[in-house]
Amino acid sequence: MVTTLLFYAFASVLIIAAVGVIASKNPVHSALFLVLAFFESAMLWLLMEAEFLAVVLVLVYVGAVMVLFLFVVMMLDINVERMRDGYTRYLPLGLVVALVVILEIGHVIWYRSQNLPFLTVPEPNPEGYSNTRELGSVLYTEYVYAFELASVVLLLAIVAAITLTMRKRPGLKVQDVAKQVAVNRDDRVRLVKDDAGTETET
Amino acid sequence: MLATYAPVLIFMVISGGLGLVLLFIGLALGKGQKDPEKTSPYECGFEAFEDTRMRFDVRYYLVAILFIIFDLEIAFLFPWAISLDQVGLFGLVAMGIFLAILVVGFVYEWRKGALEWD
């Protein structure tokens, strides 16, 4: 009963936040609405007793991915007026995507109404059941190949990010502390004899 | 299981409610006189020079994306640490290979100078 009420509360906030993402004029506000949407979906996952996924969603998406999104939004140097122009241009494409999503949701609801045996609602987990523990016990044994592949994908992401964004700027004056420390007197001081025969340091 | 998260829910309700109440008090009790001079941006007595939106250096993006990658690596470590007694030596070796592959990436970005901020 309480969980049903909570589901509706979280789901309605999620929908409001999702509408806010596309409706707000300021792209930074859109990104912050997306943070709220991620947070609410984490709550929904928690209601489905997928604790680990819920916490990871907050940790990775809210904590890291949205920081990246905000950087990108700020880096794009968006002109708000110019962005409005694209509204009618991309409307047909948006309508097609919306139609596909509506059809998919309708499909799921239709499936549910068929009362197929594999679609029964699972029982709530017993006390002391750890979702994270169960996940770990299969992830590192049964699905170990996929797990190792994940590290290769992450390695690829590191290499790709560095190749795309690293650039050496020519003519940049860089301070090399090791060189500064290793310098000695002979590198810097030269003794010059002038006409009067006195030695001067230059 | 959900009952263990009840304190989190109570915390969310109180903090969210407090935020809304504070906003509402400000809205209800404030006089809200708005005139163009009051709402205009103030920049040390000057007119504002330019838009606040400006280009960021792409290197911020690099730092953020490298952070995400190692954040994900940490996310893989948590279930492993919890279920270590179940996965045993096999799981230990599996995690060793996982970390070794990522250390290759770490050494690459270090040697390449991606962590430097010249």
- Residue A16 has a pLDDT of 95
- Residue A23 has a pLDDT of 87
- Give me chain B's average pLDDT, please: 85
Same domain for B61 and B25, yes or no, is no
Same domain for B68 and B115, yes or no, is yes
- Residue B19 has a pLDDT of 95
Same domain for B62 and B107, yes or no, is yes
Same domain for B24 and B60, yes or no, is no
Same domain for B78 and B113, yes or no, is yes
Compute how many other C-beta atoms are within 10 angstroms of the C-beta atom of residue A34: 21
Disruptive mutation site among A2, A48, A71, A159 for chain B (greatest number of B CBs within 10 Å): A71
Same domain for B75 and B109, yes or no, is yes
Q: Which helix (H) or strand (E) holds A199?
A: strand A199-201
Cα–Cα distance, A144 to B93 (Å, whole number): 10
In a domain, B41, yes or no: no
Same domain for B115 and B65, yes or no, is yes
Of B84, B94, B101, Cβ closest to residue A152? B101
Q: Which two tokens stand for residue A133?
A: 């523990």
Sheet strands (E) in A53-133: none
- Residue A148 has a pLDDT of 93
Instruction: Please identify which residue in the block is written with the tokens 């990108």.
Output: A72
The secondary structure of residue A163, as a DSSP letter, is H
In a domain, B35, yes or no: no
Residue of B nearest to A130 (CA): B1
B24: pLDDT strictly greater than 80: yes
B93: pLDDT strictly greater than 90: yes
Same domain for B20 and B64, yes or no, is no
In a domain, B15, yes or no: yes
Q: What is the total count of domains within chain B? A: 2
Residues in chain A closer than 8 A to B53 (CB atoms):
74, 77-78
- Residue A113 has a pLDDT of 80
Q: Which two tokens stand for residue A175?
A: 């301070």
Residues in chain B closer than 8 A to A46 (CB atoms):
2, 5
Same domain for B117 and B61, yes or no, is yes
- Residue B102 has a pLDDT of 93
CA distance A103 to chain B (A): 33
Residues in chain B closer than 8 A to A10 (CB atoms):
none
Disruptive mutation site among A81, A140, A144, A162 for chain B (greatest number of B CBs within 10 Å): A140
Cα–Cα distance, A168 to A121 (Å, whole number): 57
Q: Using CB atoms within 10 A of its CB, is residue A113 exposed (0-12), middle (13-18) or buried (19+)? A: exposed
Compute how many other C-beta atoms are within 10 angstroms of the C-beta atom of residue B71: 16
Same domain for B14 and B66, yes or no, is no
pLDDT tens, residue by residue, B36-74: 777 777 667 666 666 666 666 777 788 888 888 998 999
Q: Using CB atoms within 10 A of its CB, is residue B69 exposed (0-12), middle (13-18) or buried (19+)? A: buried
Cβ contact (<8 Å) for A161 and B65? yes
In a domain, B88, yes or no: yes
**Whole-Å CA distances, A57 to A38, A110, B71:** 7, 29, 11
Cβ contact (<8 Å) for B55 and A127? no
In a domain, B10, yes or no: yes
Same domain for B68 and B24, yes or no, is no
B31: pLDDT strictly greater than 80: no
pLDDT by 10s per residue, chain A, length 202? 888 899 999 999 999 999 999 888 888 888 999 999 999 999 999 888 888 899 999 988 888 888 888 877 877 766 666 666 667 788 889 899 999 999 999 998 888 788 777 666 677 777 777 888 888 888 888 999 999 999 999 999 999 988 888 777 777 777 888 888 988 888 888 888 777 766 666 6
ipTM over 0.90: no
Q: From the DSSP assignment, how many helices (H) and strands (E) are in chain B?
A: 4, 0
Disruptive mutation site among A49, A81, A147, A151 for chain B (greatest number of B CBs within 10 Å): A151
In a domain, B118, yes or no: yes
Cβ contact (<8 Å) for B79 and A52? yes
**Whole-Å CA distances, A158 to A131, A163, B16, B43, B93:** 30, 9, 38, 41, 23
Cα–Cα distance, A26 to A38 (Å, whole number): 19
Q: Which two tokens stand for residue A118?
A: 């594999």
- Nearest to B105, CA basis, from B76, B62, B69: B69
Same domain for B18 and B65, yes or no, is no
- For residue B115, the enclosing domain spans 56-118
In a domain, B49, yes or no: no
SS3 A125: coil
Residue of B nearest to A147 (CA): B98
B99: pLDDT strictly greater than 90: yes
- Residue A185 has a pLDDT of 85
In a domain, B106, yes or no: yes
Cα–Cα distance, A162 to B112 (Å, whole number): 8
Q: Which two tokens stand for residue B19?
A: 């935020």
- Residue A149 has a pLDDT of 94
